[in-house]
């Protein structure tokens, strides 16, 4: 199995390089890669990468993840989170490849008190959520696709809420944090392992 991984240096992408290794050969790229284009601000470039690599599975861990910043740079967020996703999905469909894509709980409106399920109606409240939902729709242009909606991802690598709280705990005698937001902290290592398992299962089916 040949796997093309976009976003190799992010929190999830870094763990995916480890988790996917037993499945076969990996071509891993990021926005600054030189052998192949991994820059999602260049839809034509990442589409070319899919054609050139000709993978069996594409795993997209690249995204614009700055929630607040997306409000002031909608076009850039749309380019990374939606337009380029659709571009690689079309190429994946042409190849008959699987496409694995990561989305977010921000596609929902946050109402209610129970955990969200896949069949709940989407209703994003901000630009980030809107662009990620558009990315899901783009990924669906490939019939053989898997979408993981994640929340509160943390890892030993990179910046995240868990690491920030640990640092503040060392630096400050007391902290003030919001108490009206609920989520499911998700370890990047676990997410990568679950992705590898899902790919194994998907590949074993006709």
Q: How far apart are CA 12 and CA 190, in angstroms?
A: 9
- CB contact at 8 A, 10 and 60: no
Query: Residue 165 contacts by C-beta under 8 Å, 6 or more apart in sequence?
Result: 175, 177
**Token digits of residue 169:** 């705990």
Provide the pairing of β-strand 57-60 with 25-29. unpaired
Catalytic residue among 102, 106, 128, 154: 128
> How far apart, in Å, are the Cα atoms of 205 and each of 24, 98, 148?
17, 12, 19
State the DSSP code for 83.
I
Q: How far apart are CA 123 and CA 168, in angstroms?
A: 33
**Helices (H), ranges, 8-160:** 11-20, 43-53, 67-70, 74-78, 84-95, 127-139
| Catalytic residue check, 106 | no
Instruction: Give me the residue label for tokens 């037993």.
Output: 22
- Residues annotated as catalytic are 128
């Amino acid at each position: 199995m040949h796997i093309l991984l976009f976003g190799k240096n992010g929190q999830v992408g870094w763990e995916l390089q480890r988790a996917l290794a037993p499945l076969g050969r990996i071509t891993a790229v990021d926005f600054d890669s030189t052998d192949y284009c991994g820059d999602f601000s260049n839809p034509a470039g990442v589409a070319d990468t899919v054609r050139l690599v000709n993978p069996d599975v594409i795993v997209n861990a690249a995204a614009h993840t700055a929630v607040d910043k997306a409000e002031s740079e909608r076009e850039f967020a749309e380019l990374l989170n939606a337009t380029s996703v659709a571009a690689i999905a079309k190429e994946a469909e042409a190849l008959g490849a699987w496409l694995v894509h990561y989305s977010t709980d921000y596609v929902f409106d946050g109402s209610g008190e129970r955990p969200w399920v896949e069949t709940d109606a989407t209703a994003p409240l901000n630009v980030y959520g809107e662009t990620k939902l558009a990315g899901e729709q783009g990924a669906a242009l490939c019939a053989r696709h898997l979408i993981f909606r994640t929340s509160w991802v943390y890892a030993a690598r990179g910046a995240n809420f868990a690491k920030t709280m640990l640092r503040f705990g060392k630096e400050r005698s007391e902290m003030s944090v919001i108490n009206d937001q609920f989520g499911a902290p998700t370890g990047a290592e676990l997410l990568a392992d679950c992705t590898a398992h899902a790919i194994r299962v998907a590949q074993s089916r006709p």
